[in-house]
Amino acid sequence: MEPNVPTLPESAPPRYEPVGFGPGNQEQPLAWHQPPPEDAPPKQGFIKRRLAPLGAALVALLTKIKAILLLATNSKVLITAGTMLVSIVAYTTIWGVWFAAGFVVLLLVHELGHVIALRREGIKASAPMFIPFLGAVISARSLGDNASAEARVGLAGPILGTIGSAACLVIWHVTGHDFWRALAFTGFFLNLFNLLPVVPLDGGRAMAAMAPWMWGFGFLGMVALAIFFPNPIILIIAVFAGYETYKRWKLRRSGSLEQLIYYKVRPLHRWLIAAVYLSLVALLVIGMDATHLQRTLG
């Protein structure tokens, strides 16, 4: 026999469901309950109501931090500072932290000379980027409209670098601490080495306005250094020098009007550049002699 279940009116909503039985063994009449409409928002617990806004705020904060970090990655200041720090750590393994920091600062002063000269020529330069055991580099779309501008940009690095090294020399005389003496000597040597007459070194840039034929002799000198004083850094420079010298020689041999205009330098400018170049060489040699410390063994 079927249970006596109340029938639903045809007009009633079809979505009803049984609620169950009451306590005890006696069967209770079935009750009918209408569930809430589907579009009614479910009730949220207290913790969920509190945590949801906090989570949204945290996501927004992390998004802003990510944007700031992406912006900082492209910052010239952070690129320079970051590569400087890496170089200091690398040089610390050889000289100790304080001398490594001083050496990297001297490299920075040298590169800032190039940056200033490029801006004076109306050329936008990149931030100095440091490469451990290879020095530092900057990049620009060009070094100027002609060989005179290239020479000015090239010599600006050793000029400011010599001033920075001379400042270490003055501090040594004031304090009497040989730390500054050694730092000055290293700076003088660094800038003198950069004046070797071979591209891509600064001396090679100066030769573009003075005597481009000197590039060949400068390259032979680098090859001799690589043979008699084998060193990975000298070898790398010699490879780059060979490539740059060949490229320049090939372009000049083409005899194009563009090349003729580029290397056309007024005699007065040529003599001024030569005077600055030779004066720098003399000052740097004198500076190295004044700060040279005789090494004793035993």
Q: Residue 219 and residue 235: Cα distance in Å, rounded?
A: 11
Question: Does the structure show a pLDDT above 90 at 172?
Answer: yes
pLDDT for residue 142 is more than 90: no
Does 200 sit behind a cis peptide bond, omega within 30 degrees of 0 on the bond before it? yes
Rounded mean pLDDT, 124-136? 88
pLDDT band at 37 (very low <50, low <70, confident <90, very high): low
Residue 186 has pLDDT above 80, yes or no: yes
Q: Check whether 44 has a pLDDT greater than 90.
A: no
Q: Is the dihedral of CA 141, 129, 206, 218 positive or negative?
A: negative
End-to-end CA distance of the chain: 118
